[in-house]
């Protein structure tokens, strides 16, 4: 007869689940409301989402307090792992979502926001991402990844245009392949070590001195492939521009930030111990991937005729830039990763929101795509404030000081310098210069050319409502005055990252 | 107020520019002039309260910005930067005052005021990151000025200007981060403060690499041969005011940065690269003078002659002794005044005829006598006639370099004399002879608004040519401490001999006492 297993409730530490459960409860609540009364306005759902996100933020802050006192928290049979990385990543995920969800309050009515399911799926997705970052169990990472990805595919498809379906299906196919890669890689590591927890895997592998190097490499390759797909690293990036183009500008901005930070944390947990324990092969491959991602994406971005596609390629390039932090693997570089991503989320979400408020419900005949460069020509004459704000976001993305992203770039390049990666630091700097060109291209169109298509400035702000203006204003102020906040943010991040042992 | 005068100097124009958005379009010019005048008055106040006998930094301010990473907002001014700051505010003032008919004049004046902030910021910043912030930020208003008000090729010219300098300064940024990292390794704390960096003695190989990284950033800005190709485009397409600010102030950022950063931080590398850079400088002087001779566009002549003179400044800087560096700083001021004035003068004739081709003119001396006179004085100054402002600077620069190499100095000297040929021939084509083109016959002479800008420049040219002492004293005071610092820090034997030890004389006097 089996021994009964006694598990005390305290040892489960169910507190650790609170931040993930809050959005899931919110999602369920939205579904329940929808059952009782179905034709409610989107503002209700937006506000419910915001309330639950704020509660989520509170829960994360609470775990951060506990972490600060007693260090890393394990819970639920040691599956949950709340450390500094988890807290930082969740803060970014929830913070960026708080900026994203009010973007649903557009002036024109868009298809997806009239469904309550959009908001329910959105909150489920957040729960998935939060599970992903708050564990080092490969299976839970996989579950979180799939929950969030499936929800995200649907969100894209709900935009209800031809290209949106194409994008969703494309993303789904690629995502399925990546999921396969991930499970296969996890399987190889389980076969090698008998564990699915990253720290256990690390211990076992170090103890036997990486005896089965061949299998480690196979497992690493598959994991790299899976993570590469989701982070849109070259050569796994091919889905990204089409998916960004197909989804609404707001969703595209969201996709460029939130899913990626979750994957960065997974990559940090998985790859850094491998690099540090001397898997030289991975270091070389990662080096190549980082450099190629930065450079190639930049060069593709140069030749785009559509601002949204340009921003898609630029997001790929930024992801490559930040992936360098995982390669360098020092405390400074890991802190730089979070700092960069916080600043990037402000700026990039701002830039995509600017596209979003200029979104036309129906394309005029003479316009081939929603956001061609020509549409923005001479914008300063017709909508000077909007043009200035857009120019500000472009300058920040290009890394012109003192705007937000410059500080991220500065700290990141500095971490490359102090990590001993001098050549990488130079390549990063030169890539910023290349990137300068395509951001400048939009500025040139907005400020130095005469209007081609739109003689009327209204089109640039046609979608703008007070909530959207507030979001953009918030992003713009954050971009300009970032230098005030750098020091506290940097100290906070560094303390958390250092305490987690990264 | 004097405690924070540098911060006021830097941020007053920017704040005024933000308020400027609210000023009505037809009154913005008066607003711009008023703001620029206050700024100029403030910079004069700075000069009067400046203590010329002190060689170190004055009016220092410090506010921690990112203490976790050693970034502080540090400002300070010494004899090296003082006069360039004054020059910058002066040129912004007369630039706005002499602004001709311009479309979107409001945007232009607001851009100029923002540009004034960045210019003041670069020259008083004593922290590498703050310096870098202003250095990069200065590109943005200039990009807009060239790109929105320029000639037909303006977009190409402005983007080329931006990308060239942006690339160079990013490499410089990597160098700065390296420097901070070395400082961190040596002391255990991060710091980007120049004065802290000065104290660091680096091994020679590191010096060579870092010198290279900074050199690329500065050389593109100066611009030194072979990185100069963006400048003729920028000048050719820029509106008059853009060219004036570009030539008078923005180019000085590069040469100033050499003296502020490269020399005191890397004395051995400076000696190591002295001759290669001197040779580049001489190629720059001769080559661009020849190119200038071949131009048919008067603005291009002035642009190339401006590059040519920047070569002399570089030569003086890399003489690495007090005479040479003092001369090169003085020449920066002189070059600013003279080339700024020449671009203004070209703008005067362009406003009237909408062409800059010299073949279109001829015999202007009889039609526009006052214009011809002022142009003549400025041209003589540009050529380096004694008793004009340029002569003092050129003479001291060459005198300084003569102590390092006789032959190279001789070559440079000859090149400067040859420089007179193209300027005089350009003058001949434009002003002498019969009036051949009917359109030129009834051109109005310079009007009051233009005189307001030009007459002070003429006065300065002559005044400082005859009596340069008020400027030379504070400059050479500060330069002495830089040279002494370089000598003390130098590691290699060659550097110790090439960089003079100024304490020698003092100690000897003390011993005899």
Q: Is residue B229 domain-shared with residue B289, that is, in the same domain? A: no
Domain that holds residue B67: 1-264
Judged by a CB distance cut-off of 8 A, whether residue A447 touches chain B is yes
Q: If pLDDT is split at 50, 70 and 90, which confidence band does A453 have? A: low
Q: If pLDDT is split at 50, 70 and 90, which confidence band does A367 have? A: low
Please state, as a whole number, how many other Cβ atoms lie within 10 Å of the Cβ of residue B290.
16
What is the DSSP code (8-state) at residue A104?
G
Contact B66 A449 (CB under 8 A): no
Contact B330, B393 (CB under 8 A): yes
Tell whether A6 is covered by a domain.
no
Q: Is residue B131 domain-shared with residue B231, that is, in the same domain? A: yes
In order of A72, A198, B115, B141, B219, the CA distances from B250 in angstroms are: 53, 55, 10, 12, 13
Q: Is residue B53 domain-shared with residue B162, that is, in the same domain? A: yes
Tell whether A217 is covered by a domain.
yes
Contact A400 B171 (CB under 8 A): no
Judged by a CB distance cut-off of 8 A, whether residue A473 touches chain B is no
Contact B67 A430 (CB under 8 A): no
Q: Enumerate the residues of chain A whose CB falls inside 8 A of the CB of residue B180.
A: 414
CA distance B170 to chain A (A): 6
Q: How far apart are CA B77 and CA B61, in angstroms?
A: 10
The b-or-e profile of A285-316 (16+ CB within 10 A means b, else e) is bbbebbbebbbbbbebbeebebbbbbbbbbbb
Alpha helical stretches, state H, B188-297? 194-198, 204-221, 230-237, 240-245, 251-257, 263-265, 267-272, 274-293
CA distance A370 to chain B (A): 25
Please state, as a whole number, how many other Cβ atoms lie within 10 Å of the Cβ of residue A283.
16
Q: Enumerate the residues of chain B whose CB falls inside 8 A of the CB of residue A380.
A: 107
CA distance A225 to chain B (A): 31
Domain that holds residue A98: 13-499
Judged by a CB distance cut-off of 8 A, whether residue B170 touches chain A is yes
Q: Is residue B330 domain-shared with residue B415, that is, in the same domain? A: yes
Q: pLDDT below 70 — which residues of chain B?
A: 1, 504-513
Residue A23's pLDDT is what?
93
Catalogue the long-range contacts made by B11-18 (C-beta closer than 8 Å, 24 or more residues apart): B11/B117, B12/B38, B12/B39, B12/B42, B13/B39, B13/B92, B13/B113, B13/B114, B13/B116, B13/B117, B13/B120, B14/B113, B14/B114, B14/B117, B16/B113, B17/B110, B17/B113, B17/B114, B17/B117
Contact B174 A413 (CB under 8 A): yes
CA distance B26 to chain A (A): 18
Determine which of B69, B118, B185, B242 to mutate to test the interface with A (most A C-beta atoms within 10 Å). Answer: B69
Q: Which residues contact B442 (CB under 8 A, 6 or more apart)?
A: B367
Judged by a CB distance cut-off of 8 A, whether residue B443 touches chain A is no
Q: How far apart are CA B205 and CA B364, in angstroms?
A: 58
Judged by a CB distance cut-off of 8 A, whether residue B205 touches chain A is no
Q: Is residue B302 domain-shared with residue B243, that is, in the same domain? A: no
Q: Is residue B338 domain-shared with residue B217, that is, in the same domain? A: no
Residue A208's pLDDT is what?
84
Q: Enumerate the residues of chain B whose CB falls inside 8 A of the CB of residue A483.
A: 65-66
Nearest to A444 among B107, B147, B166 (CB): B147
Q: Is residue B303 domain-shared with residue B217, that is, in the same domain? A: no
Q: Is residue B297 domain-shared with residue B205, that is, in the same domain? A: no
Convert the pLDDT of each residue in A260-294 to its tens digit: 999 999 999 988 888 887 778 888 989 999 999 99
Q: In the block, which residue shows the tokens 């310098």? A: A417
Q: Is residue B248 domain-shared with residue B277, that is, in the same domain? A: no
Residue A455's pLDDT is what?
64
Q: Which residues contact A459 (CB under 8 A, 6 or more apart)?
A: A358, A360, A375
Residue A6's pLDDT is what?
74
Judged by a CB distance cut-off of 8 A, whether residue B160 touches chain A is no
Assign B127 to helix, strand or coil.
Answer: strand
Judged by a CB distance cut-off of 8 A, whether residue A480 touches chain B is no
Residues in chain B: 513
Q: Counting beta carbons within 10 angstroms of the beta carbon of residue A160, is it exposed (0 to 12), middle (13 to 18) or buried (19 or more)?
A: exposed
Q: How far apart are CA A314 and CA A241, in angstroms?
A: 10
Judged by a CB distance cut-off of 8 A, whether residue B45 touches chain A is no
Tell whether B474 is covered by a domain.
no
The b-or-e profile of A87-117 (16+ CB within 10 A means b, else e) is bbbbbbbbbbbbbbbbbbbbeeebebbeebb
Convert the pLDDT of each residue in A18-54 to its tens digit: 889 999 999 999 999 988 888 888 888 899 999 999 9
Q: Is residue B296 domain-shared with residue B200, that is, in the same domain? A: no
Q: In the block, which residue shows the tokens 């630029």? A: A314
Tell whether B487 is covered by a domain.
no
Contact B166 A433 (CB under 8 A): yes
Q: How far apart are CA A39 and CA A46, in angstroms?
A: 14
Compute the average pLDDT of residues A232-243: 88
Question: Kind and range of the H or E element at B72?
Answer: strand B71-77
Please state, as a whole number, how many other Cβ atoms lie within 10 Å of the Cβ of residue B22.
7
Q: How far apart are CA A93 and CA A128, in angstroms?
A: 11
Please state, as a whole number, how many other Cβ atoms lie within 10 Å of the Cβ of residue B411.
17
Residue B512's pLDDT is what?
46
Tell whether A2 is covered by a domain.
no
Judged by a CB distance cut-off of 8 A, whether residue B173 touches chain A is yes
Q: How far apart are CA A491 and CA A248, in angstroms?
A: 36
CA-CA-CA-CA torsion sign (B71, B77, B83, B89): positive
| Mean of the per-residue pLDDT values of chain A | 88
DSSP labels, A195-206: --BHHHHHHHHH
Residue A408's pLDDT is what?
93
Q: Which two tokens stand for residue A49?
A: 């989402």
Look at strands A80-82 and B58-66 and give their pairing: unpaired
**Looking at the whole model, is its pTM more than 0.90?**
yes
CA-CA-CA-CA torsion sign (B20, B24, B29, B34): negative
Contact A345, A259 (CB under 8 A): no
Out of B452, B467, B482, pick the residue that ends a domain.
Answer: B467
Q: Enumerate the residues of chain B whose CB falls inside 8 A of the CB of residue A422.
A: 178
Contact A30, A113 (CB under 8 A): no
- Taking only Cα atoms into account, the Rg of chain A, rounded to an integer number of angstroms, comes to 22
Residue B130's pLDDT is what?
94
Determine which of B10, B146, B166 to mutate to test the interface with A (most A C-beta atoms within 10 Å). Answer: B166
Residue A366's pLDDT is what?
65
Contact A433 B181 (CB under 8 A): no
Closest CA to A243 of A175, A304, A194, A301: A175
| % pLDDT > 90, chain A | 46
Q: How far apart are CA A486 and CA B466, in angstroms?
A: 51
Residue B100's pLDDT is what?
73
CA distance A328 to chain B (A): 16
Contact A414 B140 (CB under 8 A): no
Q: Which residues contact B97 (CB under 8 A, 6 or more apart)?
A: B33, B36, B449, B452, B453
Judged by a CB distance cut-off of 8 A, whether residue A436 touches chain B is yes
Nearest to B173 among A380, A429, A490 (CB): A429
Contact A456, A375 (CB under 8 A): no
Tell whether B223 is covered by a domain.
yes
Out of B208, B231, B264, pick the residue that ends a domain.
Answer: B264
Q: In the block, which residue shows the tokens 């297993």? A: A5
**Could you give the number of structural domains in chain A?**
1
Residue A454's pLDDT is what?
59
Tell whether B488 is covered by a domain.
no
Closest CA to B339 of B415, B258, B245: B245
Convert the pLDDT of each residue in B452-463 to its tens digit: 889 999 999 999
Contact B335, B493 (CB under 8 A): no
Contact A487 B143 (CB under 8 A): no
Tell whether A7 is covered by a domain.
no
Q: How far apart are CA B450 and CA A254, in angstroms?
A: 55
Assign A424 to helix, strand or coil.
Answer: helix
A72-76, A130-134, B61-65, B298-302: range with lowest mean pLDDT? A72-76
Judged by a CB distance cut-off of 8 A, whether residue A487 touches chain B is yes
Contact B352, B444 (CB under 8 A): yes
Determine which of B174, B176, B212 to mutate to test the interface with A (most A C-beta atoms within 10 Å). Answer: B174
Q: Enumerate the residues of chain B whose CB falls inside 8 A of the CB of residue A449.
A: 155
A86-90, A197-201, B126-130: range with lowest mean pLDDT? A197-201
Phi, psi of A422, rounded to the nearest 5 degrees: -65, -45
Judged by a CB distance cut-off of 8 A, whether residue B156 touches chain A is no
Tell whether B455 is covered by a domain.
yes
Q: Enumerate the residues of chain A whose CB falls inside 8 A of the CB of residue B143.
A: 440, 443
Contact B212, B168 (CB under 8 A): no
Nearest to B133 among A401, A429, A433 (CB): A401
Out of B264, B284, B318, pick the residue that ends a domain.
Answer: B264
Assign B134 to helix, strand or coil.
Answer: helix
Q: Which residues contact B15 (CB under 8 A, 6 or more apart)?
A: none
Judged by a CB distance cut-off of 8 A, whether residue B143 touches chain A is yes
Determine which of A487, A491, A496 to mutate to test the interface with B (most B C-beta atoms within 10 Å). Answer: A487
Q: Is residue B16 domain-shared with residue B36, that is, in the same domain? A: yes
Tell whether B357 is covered by a domain.
yes
Judged by a CB distance cut-off of 8 A, whether residue B184 touches chain A is yes
Tell whether B155 is covered by a domain.
yes
Q: Is residue B225 domain-shared with residue B324, that is, in the same domain? A: no
**Could you give the number of structural domains in chain B?**
2
Tell whether B496 is covered by a domain.
no
Q: How far apart are CA B81 and CA B72, in angstroms?
A: 19
Judged by a CB distance cut-off of 8 A, whether residue A423 touches chain B is no
CA distance A482 to chain B (A): 11
In order of A152, A284, A368, B32, B107, the CA distances from B28 in angstroms are: 51, 59, 41, 6, 10
Residues in chain A: 502
Q: How far apart are CA B160 and CA A137, in angstroms?
A: 51
Residue A365's pLDDT is what?
62
Phi, psi of A71, rounded to the nearest 5 degrees: 80, -165
Q: Which two tokens stand for residue B112?
A: 């100029």
Q: Which two tokens stand for residue A257?
A: 């930030």
Determine which of A339, A395, A433 to mutate to test the interface with B (most B C-beta atoms within 10 Å). Answer: A433
Compute the average pLDDT of residues A217-229: 91
Closest CA to B145 of B251, B229, B234: B234
Nearest to B155 among A432, A448, A487 (CB): A448
Q: How far apart are CA A174 and CA A177, in angstroms?
A: 5
């Amino acid at each position: 007869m089996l021994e009964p297993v006694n598990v005390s409730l305290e040892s489960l530490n169910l507190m650790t689940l609170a931040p993930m459960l809050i959005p899931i409860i919110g999602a369920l609540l939205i579904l329940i409301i929808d059952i009782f009364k179905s034709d409610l306005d989107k503002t209700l759902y937006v506000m419910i989402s915001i309330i639950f996100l704020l509660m989520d933020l509170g829960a994360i802050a609470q775990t951060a307090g506990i972490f600060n006192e007693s260090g890393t928290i394990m819970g639920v049979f040691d599956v949950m792992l709340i450390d500094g990385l988890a807290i930082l990543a969740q803060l970014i995920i929830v913070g960026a979502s708080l900026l994203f969800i009010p973007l649903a309050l557009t002036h024109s009515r868009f298809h997806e926001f009239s469904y309550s399911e959009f908001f329910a799926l959105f909150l489920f997705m957040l729960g998935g991402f939060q599970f992903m970052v708050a564990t080092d169990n490969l299976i839970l990472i996989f579950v979180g990844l799939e929950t969030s990805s499936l929800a995200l595919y649907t969100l894209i498809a709900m935009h209800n245009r031809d290209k949106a379906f194409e994008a969703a299906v494309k993303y789904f196919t690629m995502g399925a392949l990546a999921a396969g890669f991930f499970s296969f890689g996890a399987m190889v590591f389980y076969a090698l070590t008998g564990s699915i927890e990253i720290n256990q895997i690390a211990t076992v592998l170090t103890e036997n001195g990486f005896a089965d190097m061949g299998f480690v490499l196979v497992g690493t390759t598959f994991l790299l492939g899976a993570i590469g797909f989701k982070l849109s690293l070259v050569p796994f990036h091919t889905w990204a521009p089409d998916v960004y183009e197909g989804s609404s500008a707001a969703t595209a901005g969201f996709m460029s930030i939130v899913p990626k930070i979750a994957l960065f944390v997974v990559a940090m947990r998985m790859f850094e111990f491998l690099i540090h324990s001397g898997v030289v092969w991975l270091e070389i491959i990662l080096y190549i991937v980082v450099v190629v991602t930065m450079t190639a994406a930049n060069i593709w971005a140069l030749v785009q005729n559509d601002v949204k596609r340009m921003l898609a390629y630029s997001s790929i390039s930024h992801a490559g830039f930040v992936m360098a932090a995982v390669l360098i693997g020092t405390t400074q570089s890991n802190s730089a990763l979070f700092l960069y991503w916080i600043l990037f989320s402000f700026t990039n979400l701002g830039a995509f929101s600017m596209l979003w408020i200029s979104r036309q419900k129906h394309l005029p005949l003479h316009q081939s795509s929603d956001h061609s460069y020509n549409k923005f020509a001479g914008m300063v004459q017709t909508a000077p404030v909007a043009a200035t704000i857009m120019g500000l976001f472009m300058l920040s993305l290009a890394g012109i000081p003192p705007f937000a992203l410059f500080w991220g770039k500065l700290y990141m390049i500095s971490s490359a310098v102090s990590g001993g990666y001098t050549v990488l630091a130079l390549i990063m700097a030169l890539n910023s210069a290349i990137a300068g060109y395509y951001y400048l291209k939009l500025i040139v169109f907005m400020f130095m050319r005469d209007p081609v298509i739109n003689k009327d400035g209204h089109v640039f702000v046609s979608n703008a409502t007070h909530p959207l203006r507030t979001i953009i204003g918030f992003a713009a102020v954050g971009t300009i005055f970032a230098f005030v906040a750098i020091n506290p943010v940097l100290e906070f991040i560094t303390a958390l990252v250092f305490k987690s042992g990264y | 107020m004097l405690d924070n005068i540098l911060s006021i100097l830097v941020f007053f124009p920017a704040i005024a520019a933000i308020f400027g958005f609210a000023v009505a379009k037809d009154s913005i010019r008066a607003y711009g002039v008023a703001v620029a005048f206050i700024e100029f008055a403030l910079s004069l106040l700075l000069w009067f309260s400046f203590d010329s006998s002190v060689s170190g930094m004055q009016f220092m301010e410090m506010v921690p910005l990112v203490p976790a990473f050693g970034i502080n907002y540090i400002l300070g001014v010494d004899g090296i930067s003082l006069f360039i700051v004054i020059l910058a505010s002066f040129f912004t003032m007369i630039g706005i005052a002499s602004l001709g008919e311009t479309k979107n004049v409001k945007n232009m004046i607001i851009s100029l005021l923002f540009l004034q902030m960045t210019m003041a910021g670069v020259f008083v910043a004593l922290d590498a990151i703050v310096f870098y912030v202003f250095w990069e930020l200065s590109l943005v208003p200039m990009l807009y000025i060239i790109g929105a008000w320029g000639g037909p090729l303006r977009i190409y010219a402005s983007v080329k200007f931006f990308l060239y300098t942006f690339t160079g300064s990013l490499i410089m940024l990597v160098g700065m981060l390296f420097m901070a990292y070395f400082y961190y390794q040596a002391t255990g704390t991060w710091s980007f403060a120049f004065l802290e960096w000065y104290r660091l003695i680096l091994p020679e190989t590191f010096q060579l690499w870092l010198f290279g990284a900074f050199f690329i950033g500065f050389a593109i800005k100066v611009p030194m041969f072979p990185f100069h190709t963006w400048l003729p485009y920028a000048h050719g397409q820029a509106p008059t005011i853009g060219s004036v600010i570009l030539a008078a102030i923005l180019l000085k950022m590069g040469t100033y940065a050499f003296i502020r950063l490269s020399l005191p931080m890397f004395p051995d590398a400076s000696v190591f690269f002295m001759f290669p850079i001197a040779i580049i400088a001489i190629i720059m002087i001769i080559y661009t003078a020849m190119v200038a001779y071949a131009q048919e566009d008067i603005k291009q002549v002035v642009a190339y002659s401006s590059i040519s003179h920047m070569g002399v400044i570089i030569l003086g800087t890399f003489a690495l002794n007090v005479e040479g560096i003092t001369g090169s700083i003085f020449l920066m001021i002189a070059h600013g005044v003279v080339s700024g004035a020449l671009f203004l003068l070209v703008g005067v004739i362009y406003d009237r005829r909408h062409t800059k081709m010299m073949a279109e003119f001829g015999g202007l001396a009889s039609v526009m006598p006052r214009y011809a006179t002022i142009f003549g004085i400025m041209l003589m100054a540009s050529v380096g006639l004694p008793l004009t402002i340029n002569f003092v600077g050129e003479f001291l620069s060459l005198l300084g370099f003569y102590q390092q190499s006789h032959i190279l100095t001789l070559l440079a000297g000859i090149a400067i004399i040859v420089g007179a040929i193209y300027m005089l021939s350009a003058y001949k084509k434009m002003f002498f002879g019969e009036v051949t083109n009917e359109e030129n016959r009834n051109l109005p002479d310079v009007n009051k608004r233009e005189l307001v800008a030009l007459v002070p420049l003429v006065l300065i040219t002559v005044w400082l040519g005859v009596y340069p002492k008020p400027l030379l004293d504070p400059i050479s005071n500060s330069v002495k401490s830089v040279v002494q610092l370089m000598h003390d820090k130098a590691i290699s034997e060659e550097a110790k001999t090439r960089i003079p030890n100024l304490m020698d004389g003092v100690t000897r006097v003390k011993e005899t006492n």
